[in-house]
Amino acid sequence: MPKLSPRDIRRKIQGIKNTRRITNAMKVVSAAKLRKAQEAIYASRPYSERLYEMLAHLSAHVDMSAHPLLEVREERKVDIILITADKGLAGAFNSNVIKKVEEHIAEKNQNGIEVSLILIGRKGVQYFQKRNWKVLKAYEEVFRKEINFDVVKEVGELVRQRYQNKETDGVYLINNEMITRVSYKPVVRRFLPFERIEQKEQDYSSYEFEVDAETFINKLIDLYLNYQLYRAMLESNAAEHFARMVAMDNATRNADELIKTWTLIFNKARQESITYELIDIVNAVEAMK
């Protein structure tokens, strides 16, 4: 590495300071967005969980032939819905969930199961479209402003039709989810078919429908598919802001350390420059004697 002059070192320090201003600003913005995103997911979770319990309980008390989406088949083909971010600079946020998908695909392929992908988020689209995977649909720019609910409805209708038409035997949803307010991890959920709650011997529950049973279940399933997918996107959005806040905080801390290190190098270089100048002056005086 060539020796840098004090001027070059000063420029380098200024460049690091400029980068630090950017990372610190991004950290503050992500922290503000995180608070809003966490409020959204904590408001949606109770309704989402109750809706899931209700549908799982209902599916255990009605005949499986009551609706095509209640049918459980042997898996030969499955679809995976992957939710990633549209932007980077979020640490291992995208790479961890992509790794989880690849592990799931490998597990399915070992059992001779064909896998198709539905990708939500630009980072997942960029990664898998460069590889030899079957991609059914790809959605980018989903999280730029507000979550695009049109994408939610379109994906829900797509997997519904594919399962009803027996083009797939199972649908899995993989996304990052907030575990606590300060941690997240990739999670895998079976989206279709619905998990049935085993009936207990003392369970005497029964359901009577004022409308046609298939019509009621159809409306309930539409609500379930859309809302569960919407919640997963809310979870991923909150986890992304948290991951970016942490990544930018680490980057800011690293910039502070680099500024200290290069400031010390600058001071040493300046002292050396002053020392050499003094030596030159002394030598010149001696030469003139």
Where helices occur in 112-176 by DSSP H, the ranges are 122-129, 149-164
**pLDDT tens string 4-31:** 777 888 899 999 999 999 999 999 999 9
Give tens-digit pLDDT for 128-147: 988 888 999 999 988 877 78
Q: Looking at 34-38, 68-72, 110-114, 237-241, which range is the least confident one?
A: 68-72
pLDDT at 119: 95
User: Amino acid identity of 227?
Assistant: Y
- Which string of b and e fits 223-235 if b means at least 16 CB within 10 Å? ebbbbbbbbbbbb
Residue 192: the pLDDT is 86
3-state secondary structure of 192: strand
- Dihedral sign, Cα of residue 174, residue 180, residue 182, residue 183: negative
- Write down the residue that tokens 């998990």 correspond to: 195
pLDDT at 267: 87
What is the mean predicted confidence (pLDDT) over 231-247? 93
Looking at residue 70, the DSSP 8-state letter turns out to be G
How much is the average pLDDT of 271-281? 75
Q: Kind of pairing, strands 114-120 and 183-192?
A: unpaired
Q: What are the Cα distances from residue 79, in Å, to 223, 266, 275?
A: 20, 57, 71
How far apart are alpha carbons 141 and 143 in whole angstroms?
Answer: 6
Q: What is the phi/psi pair of residue 107, to 5°?
A: -65, -45
Confidence class of residue 274 from pLDDT cuts 50, 70 and 90? confident
Q: What is the mean pLDDT of residues 86-97?
A: 92
| Most confident listed range (34-38, 170-174, 218-222, 277-281) | 170-174
3-state DSSP call for residue 171?
strand
- The rounded distance, in Å, linking the Cα atoms of 269 and 265 is 6
Note the pLDDT of residue 106. 92
Is the CB of residue 115 less than 8 Å from the CB of residue 109?
yes
- Classified as helix, coil or strand, 27 is helix
pLDDT band at 175 (very low <50, low <70, confident <90, very high): very high
Residue 64: DSSP 8-state: G
Nearest in space to 81 (alpha carbons), one of 125, 37, 113, 35: 125
- Distance of alpha carbon 120 from alpha carbon 102, whole angstroms: 16
Percent residues over pLDDT 70 in the chain: 89
**Tokens coding 175:** 């996304």
pLDDT at 211: 64
Which CATH number among 3.40.1380.10, 3.30.360.10, 1.10.540.10, 3.10.290.10 corresponds to the domain 42-244?
A: 3.40.1380.10
Neighbours of 252 (CB within 10 A): 19
Contact by Cβ (8 Å): 134, 117: yes
Read off the pTM: 0.83
More confident site: 15 or 270: 15
Q: Which of 114, 136, 115 is nearest to 125 (CA)?
A: 136
Instruction: Kindly report which listed range (51-55, 101-105, 181-185, 232-236) carries the lowest average pLDDT score.
Output: 51-55
Using CA atoms, how far residue 276 sits from 251, 262, 281, 284, 289, in Å, is: 37, 21, 9, 12, 20
Domain range annotation of the chain: 42-244
> Predicted confidence band at 204 (pLDDT cuts at 50, 70, 90)?
very low
Q: What digits encode the pLDDT tens for the residues 50-78?
A: 887 777 777 666 666 667 777 888 999 99
